[in-house]
């Protein structure tokens, strides 16, 4: 896609699922990639290997470079270290993908304060702090750049039993819009990608059970869950110059999930 080759992208939570697919896709488009992981160095190495395979094929070198960086996005010091390691290695950073995310399931009246704080600290505060450091870097270097927040259909659909997750993704929608407006004149575009139900490790509770998966898919107008690669394709588009005039938007990649699936069949005269 236009304008991606030679750029540098940092992807948080890139050792699995959607983050891994984004790292692989951006490398395939010719980006250098910084692969953040919290605790699974081996999985991050898998991401690196897959990315280089896609980017370079059999060639020993193809100009795409990689960096694996450990860091917990809920810790400010880790974020600062992650950003400086990336800039030290590549000289600059053009694209930030705020992908790291967690969720916990519990009735809202039973959620413990530390559990609530943890989800917000990773999904929302972490995304903001990474964006803040990215924007400082871009302003210092007087560069344009792109930030993409990996949100969720739960940015707009309430999610009972997942109150902290729901709030974090709702907040992420506002994070996207506020930063987009504040920095539009500085050449910084900020957008969101909101996946619907996607086959990744975060959803093991239903992807490992065909019956449960069928129930989930029965609520999706297109009748199937999405893939990480489908999410990564949207990210690559928004990161590229093909999307040069798009900012402050969240693109829902959800097989129609946000179209109110219950209305697919007429249920009133």
Catalytic residues: 165
- Within positions 18 to 77, which residues make up the interface with ligand NAD, using CB under 6 A? 18-19, 36, 38, 72-74
Least separation in angstroms between residue 260's CB and ligand NAD is 18
Residue 100, interface with ligand NAD (CB under 6 A)? Answer: yes
What separation in angstroms does the CA of 206 have from each of 16, 17, 160, 212, 213?
Answer: 17, 15, 17, 5, 5
Inter-residue contact 157 to 258 (CB < 8 Å): yes
Site for ligand NAD (CB under 6 A): how many residues? 26
Counting contacts by CB under 6 A, is residue 93 touching ligand NAD? no
Q: Report in angstroms how near the CB of residue 101 gets to ligand NAD at its nearest.
A: 2
Give every CB contact of residue 109 below 8 A, 6+ residues apart in sequence.
Answer: none
Indicate which single residue of 99, 166, 176, 247 sits in contact with ligand NAD (rule: CB under 6 A).
Answer: 99
102 binds ligand NAD (CB under 6 A): yes
Q: Is 164 in the site for ligand NAD (CB under 6 A)?
A: no
CB of 157 to ligand NAD, least distance (A): 10
**In terms of CB distance, is 42 or 61 closer to ligand NAD?**
42
- Among 6, 91, 187, 201, interactor with ligand NAD by CB under 6 A: 201
E strands within 183-233? Answer: 188-195
Give Dmax (Cα) for the chain.
65
Q: Which of 15, 47, 66, 240 binds ligand NAD (CB under 6 A)?
A: 15
Query: By the 8 A CB rule, do 44 and 37 touch?
Result: yes
Rule CB under 6 A: is residue 166 a binding residue for ligand NAD? no
- What are the E-state strand segments in 42-174? 66-70, 95-98, 145-150
The alpha carbon dihedral of 211, 213, 215, 218 has a sign of negative
Round to whole Å and give the CA distance between 190 and 184: 8
Residues that bind ligand NAD (CB under 6 A): 12-13, 15-19, 36, 38, 72-74, 99-102, 122, 150, 152, 195, 197-198, 200-203
């Amino acid at each position: 896609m236009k304008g991606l080759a030679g750029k540098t992208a940092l992807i948080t939570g890139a050792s699995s699922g959607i983050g891994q697919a984004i790292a692989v896709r951006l490398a395939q488009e010719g980006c250098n990639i910084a692969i953040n992981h919290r605790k699974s160095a081996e999985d991050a190495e898998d991401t690196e290997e897959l990315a280089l395979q896609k980017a370079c094929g059999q060639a020993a070198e193809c100009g795409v470079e990689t960096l694996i960086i450990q860091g917990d996005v809920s810790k400010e010091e880790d974020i600062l270290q992650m950003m400086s390691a990336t800039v030290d290695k590549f000289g600059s950073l053009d694209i930030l993908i705020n992908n790291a995310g967690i969720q916990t399931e519990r009735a809202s009246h039973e959620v413990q304060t530390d559990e609530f704080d943890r989800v917000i600290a990773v999904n929302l505060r972490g995304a903001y702090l990474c964006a803040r450091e990215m924007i400082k870097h871009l302003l210092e270097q007087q560069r344009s750049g792109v930030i993409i927040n990996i949100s969720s259909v739960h940015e707009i659909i309430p999610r009972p039993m997942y109150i902290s997750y729901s709030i974090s993704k709702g907040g992420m929608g506002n994070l996207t819009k506020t930063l987009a407006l504040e920095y539009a004149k500085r050449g910084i575009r900020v957008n969101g990608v909101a996946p619907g139900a996607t086959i990744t490790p975060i959803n093991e509770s239903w992807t490992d059970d065909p019956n449960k998966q069928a129930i989930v898919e029965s609520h999706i107008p297109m009748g199937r869950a999405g893939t990480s690669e489908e999410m990564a394709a949207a990210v690559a588009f928004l990161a590229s110059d093909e999307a040069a005039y798009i900012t402050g938007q969240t693109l829902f990649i959800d097989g129609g999930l946000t179209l109110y699936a219950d209305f697919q069949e007429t249920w009133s005269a």
